[in-house]
């Protein structure tokens, strides 16, 4: 089983083409989202990247 985890900074999921935004152009992410699991309700309570990354890596 192959796992590819993509984590981006300062990207709002509502404005992604694979979530229905008509103006966004993301052909590679759109193609990947059709073959993968997309977390549509992911939420980050801190706007800084370091706390989010630490939480993701440590599970706390």
Residue 38 lies in a domain: yes
Statement: residue 32 has pLDDT above 80: yes
| Structural domain contains residue 2 | no
Q: How confident is the model at residue 23 (pLDDT cuts 50, 70, 90)?
A: very high
Tell me, yes or no, whether 46 lies in a domain: yes
Contacts of 53 (CB under 8 A, 6+ apart): 7
Structure token pair of residue 48: 């800084």
Structural domain of residue 21, as residue ranges?
13-58
The number of folded domains in the chain is 1
- 5 within some domain: no
- Within a domain: 47: yes
Is 7 within a domain? no
From residue 40, alpha-carbon distances to 13, 14, 16, 20 in Å are 7, 9, 11, 11
Predicted confidence at residue 14, as pLDDT, reads 78
């Amino acid at each position: 089983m192959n796992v590819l985890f993509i984590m981006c900074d300062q990207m709002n999921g509502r404005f992604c083409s694979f979530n229905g935004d008509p103006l966004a152009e993301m052909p590679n992410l759109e193609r990947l989202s059709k073959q993968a699991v997309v977390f549509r309700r992911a939420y980050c309570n801190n706007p800084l990247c370091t706390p989010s990354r630490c939480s993701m890596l440590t599970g706390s």
